[in-house]
Amino acid sequence: MDDIVRQAMAKWPNVPHCHGWLGLDARGNWYLRDGDAQALGGFASGVPGAKGALLQHQKLIEFIQRNYDHDAAGQWFFQNGPQRVFVELQAAPWVWRVAGDGSVTSHTGVPAQVREVLADESGRVFMATDIGLGLVHTQDMGAVADALERGAWPISEVRADALPSRFGFVLSPQARQAAG
């Protein structure tokens, strides 16, 4: 976490949290979700426009990624100075990039060690790692297939709806907040 963020948190400890305004898609892209996007439906609903606007400002993306974390309830957030901005997740808290040598890095640039590979009922491939669960980026499926053929990692089947409870994360902090 950036020092300037820690300082802001100490200076203003009681800033209300923000829900629904930031999303992470299955390819590791960040989306800003204004009121109009939120009114169309949930981030992962598939409704056109509900995802919001793709973030393209590289310095802002880097700032978000340096200050991306989770709370004890498994809700992922971006700590924006003193304000915690909870993230709507399309699939998982991490999106993995897999190199040809089998090394794995998150969408935020954090290296990870694979413990298990999981395939869901839709054919999506997730990896459980030392830093948590994530979805493999679609462009890296070839590298994963090669590693699986070499026996680099164990693989098992899983139902996608079981992943949040099994790995302790919340897909939609906004829906959780609304449910009370």
pTM for the whole structure? 0.90
pLDDT per position as a tens digit, 44-90: 999 999 999 999 999 999 999 999 999 999 999 999 888 899 999 99
List of domains in the chain = 3-91+169-179 (3.10.540), 94-163 (no CATH)
Beta strands in the chain (DSSP E): 18-24, 30-32, 53-54, 68-70, 76-80, 83-89, 94-98, 104-106, 111-112, 114-119, 125-129, 132-136, 155-157
Contact of 47 with 40, CB cutoff 8 Å:
yes
Tokens 């830093």, located at residue: 131
Asked whether the predicted pLDDT for residue 168 surpasses 90, the reply is: yes
| Pairing, β 18-24 against β 83-89 | parallel
- Tell me what pLDDT residue 96 has: 98
- Tell me what pLDDT residue 5 has: 60
